[in-house]
Amino acid sequence: MKTLFTLIASLMIVLPVSAQRDDFDSPVLSPSWQTVRNLGASRWSLTERAGFLRLKGSTVTLDDTEVPPVYFERKSLPKDFEATVSLDFEPGKPNETAGLALRLNERQHYEFGVRKSVSGRELFIRLVTGSNRGILRTYPIRTGPVALRIRGFAKYVRFSFSQNEAGFREIGGAETKFLEDPNGLLNVGLGIFASGNGIESTSPADFDWFGFDPNPRDPYADLVVTDPSLPKGYTIFSVPAAEKGLIQKYPFVYLPESVVPVSIEHRTAVVYARYGDREMHADVFRPKAKGKRPALIIVHGGAWITGHYTMENPLAIALAKLGYVAVTVEYRLANEKKYPAQIHDLKAAVRWLRANAKSLGIDPERIGAAGASAGGHLVALLGATNEMKEFEGEGGNAGFSSRVQSVIDIDGTATFVDPGNIEKEIKGPWDTNTKLTGFTYAENPEIWKNASPITHVNVKSAPTLFLNSSSNRPFQQREEMAAKLNALGIASEIVVVPDTPHPFWLFRPWFDTTVGEIDRFFRKTMGNRK
């Protein structure tokens, strides 16, 4: 349905910069659209398909320095903006592309468009920054119209799409600094393009409408980061909160898939243990194909006082696709119960897996654990304390072993008892170890030692991979713990993922590295998946 504003704009044949939408209903293109050089009339039409702006891609690309590309743009963008276009384009050949673009000049522009793939169609993000020209990423889409959206902010832009579904899915981003002119000004054009990329295009690109918002809503406006149950100064650890904290430095990140494929059985909020009226929950992701499979628990981070087990469900889905029975587990946070409740919970979760191994299709001799940040510390402690009865707790299934065959600690500490760690707690403001144990080091050094995985390394401890970010997180003693394990003949490795912030495992492209390293180490230490 066309808005009154659009009808008025069509009659005037002028679309102001602040207008929200151009429906391409007028037989004359609005003067707000400009071309680079003089584009011939044979390359576009407002009449061949009523209500659409049709572009016919030529051999010319946005990189060309002399011949006009098939490209219409709008100038004078505000610092923040949101642009959306509805595109109906079915490329018949791999060379044919069409979509949205941000363009400073031939050597500095970003393209977000549609092209042909081996199996159908795909979105692509192409960055041209001087001599660096390449595809940032691709994403498969089904046939039919697609809405493309670029959202621009002071330091970064984000690319997203929608296909007849609720909301947009972000698939990446880029820094704006590469689109600055020599004076440091972001004086780019925002436009729509079509190209045959060196070959004449035979498939027209039909743009149904173009929407523009010079005052986009803050993408994190509804983000909840405070909770009265948290100690003063602490915030909620969630995927959106982590994204907000790193997106300006790492604008290219995007979230992994959270859709459960039909080949995976998903059981939600399964109760794995009870403490009186308190139920402990887990989500189980299990391949439907028959056969005994290795299993693993996945433990979330959040400084032991925040976070939620379901934030690790995408990791569980990815590992289930590889053949694991993957289980994201809840544990009691420090505001509810102090240490050692958390390790009791993880031991109970492993015992529950063995107690239900037959119904879950689990090989009870191949159970591992992966955790991140606070969860990394906890799984390192879980593996280090194999067969130590004092850590079992009262979570049920006492007749089953809580032993794990392998552990991946993702950027979690191996010790609390380190001079630098102790000094950090004294200085504050985040006294995480004290919040977990209920004591400062001076008040109870023994409980700090007891909560440190490195303290308990022995011949029965599990093989352990330390998968580390490249951010500066001193006083962890991961190297020392790995050395102690190796000295006992127990496999232990340290892998550092380059150029990564602390919560790297939650975001692509590092998510894929995380999945690959977990799979590699589990296969090495627990045997084949099949």
What would the pLDDT profile of 371-383 be if each residue is shown by its tens digit?
999 999 999 999 9
Q: From the CB of residue 389, how many other CB atoms can be counted at a distance below 10 Å?
A: 7
Give the type of residue at 253.
V
Q: Whole-angstrom Cα distance, residue 439 to residue 339?
A: 10
Handedness of CA 324, 319, 123, 80 (dihedral sign): positive
- Residue 249 forms part of a structural domain: no
Domain final position from 179, 195, 213: 213
For residue 530, pLDDT over 60 is answered with no
- Whether the per-residue pLDDT at 5 is higher than 60: the answer is no
Reduced to 3 states, what is the DSSP secondary structure of residue 415?
A: coil
Give the pLDDT score at 202.
95
Q: What is the mean pLDDT of residues 390-402?
A: 97
Q: pLDDT per residue over 218-238, tens digit each?
A: 889 999 999 998 988 899 999
Token code pair at residue 427 = 């200085």
- On whether both 23 and 122 belong to a single domain, the answer is yes
- Note the pLDDT of residue 529: 52
Residue 239 lies in a domain: no
Tell me if 26 is assigned to some domain. yes
pLDDT at 440: 96
350 and 265 in a common domain: yes
Residue 337 and residue 480 share a domain:
yes
pLDDT (average), residues 183-207: 91
- Return the structure tokens found at 253: 């990140």
Give the pLDDT band of residue 2 (cuts 50, 70, 90): very low
Mean pLDDT for the stretch of residues 241-268: 95
In a domain, 254, yes or no: no
pLDDT in tens, 305-356: 999 999 999 999 999 999 999 999 999 999 999 999 999 999 999 999 999 9
Domain of 179, CATH number, reads 2.60.120.200
Q: Are residues 205 and 301 in the same domain?
A: no
Residue 17: band (very low, low, confident or very high) from pLDDT cuts 50, 70, 90: very low
pLDDT tens sequence across 60-107:
999 999 999 999 999 878 888 999 999 999 999 999 999 999 999 999
Specify whether the CB–CB gap between 333 and 305 falls below 8 A: yes
User: Residue 514: helix, strand or coil by DSSP?
Assistant: helix
Cα–Cα distance list, 111 to 4, 22, 184, 191, 506 (Å): 32, 21, 21, 10, 26
d(CA 129, CA 176): 11
Of 183, 213, 243, the domain-final residue: 213
* Closest by Cα among 244, 70, 76, 74 to 158: 244
- By mean pLDDT, which of 159-173, 324-338, 354-368 is the weakest? 159-173
Q: Do 412 and 273 share a structural domain?
A: yes
Compute and round to an integer the Cα radius of gyration of the chain: 27
Task: Look at residue 184 and tell me if it is in a domain.
Answer: yes
Please compute the mean of the pLDDT values over residues 177-199 and round it to a whole number. Answer: 87
- Whether residue 378 contacts residue 343, with contact meaning beta carbons closer than 8 Å, is answered with yes
Has residue 271 been placed in a domain? yes
- Confirm if 121 and 114 have CB atoms less than 8 A apart: yes
Residue 9 has pLDDT above 60, yes or no: no
Same domain, 52 and 169: yes
User: What pLDDT sits at residue 154?
Assistant: 84
Query: Are residues 191 and 72 in contact, defined by beta-carbon separation less than 8 angstroms?
Result: yes
Q: What percent of the chain is predicted at pLDDT more than 90?
A: 84
pLDDT above 90 for 54: yes
Residues 195 and 284 occupy one common structural domain:
no
Mark whether 301 and 381 lie in a shared domain.
Answer: yes
The percent of residues above 70 in pLDDT, for the chain, comes to 95
Can you tell me the mean pLDDT for 448-473?
96
Answer whether residue 162 shows pLDDT above 60: yes
Clarify whether residues 497 and 429 are in a common domain: yes
Task: Render 45-71 in DSSP notation, one character per residue.
Answer: ESTTTTT-EEE--BS--TT-SSSPPEE
Tell me the mean pLDDT in the region 193-206.
97
Residue closest to 379 by CA, chosen among 353, 352, 347: 347
Residue 136 within a domain: yes
- Number of independent structural domains in the chain: 2
Same domain, 13 and 142: yes
pLDDT at 76: 74
User: In this structure, are residues 160 and 83 in contact, taking their beta carbons and an 8 Å threshold?
Assistant: no
179: pLDDT strictly greater than 70: yes
CA distance 85 to 491: 53
Q: Based on the fold, state whether residues 290 and 152 are members of the same structural domain.
A: no
**Of 338, 303, 306, nearest in space to 437 by CA:** 338
> What's the confidence (pLDDT) of residue 8?
28
CB 264 within 8 A of CB 287: yes
> What is the pLDDT at residue 1?
37
Q: What is the pLDDT of residue 11?
A: 30
pLDDT grade for 450, boundaries at 50, 70 and 90: very high
pLDDT bracket for residue 6 (50, 70, 90): very low
* Beta-carbon count within 10 A of 496 CB: 11
- According to the model, what pLDDT value does residue 12 have? 32
pLDDT exceeds cutoff 70 at 485: yes
CATH number for the domain that contains residue 320: 3.40.50.1820
Q: If you average pLDDT over residues 418-429, what whole number do you get? A: 90
477 is in which domain, residue-wise? 259-526
Same domain, 207 and 284: no
| pLDDT computed for residue 252 by the predictor | 93
- 407: closest CA among 522, 286, 284? 522
Beta partners for 496? 468
Rounded to an integer, the average pLDDT of 268-295 is 96
pLDDT grade, residue 13 (50/70/90)?
Answer: very low
Look at residue 228 and tell me if it is in a domain.
Answer: no
Determine the residue type at 289: A
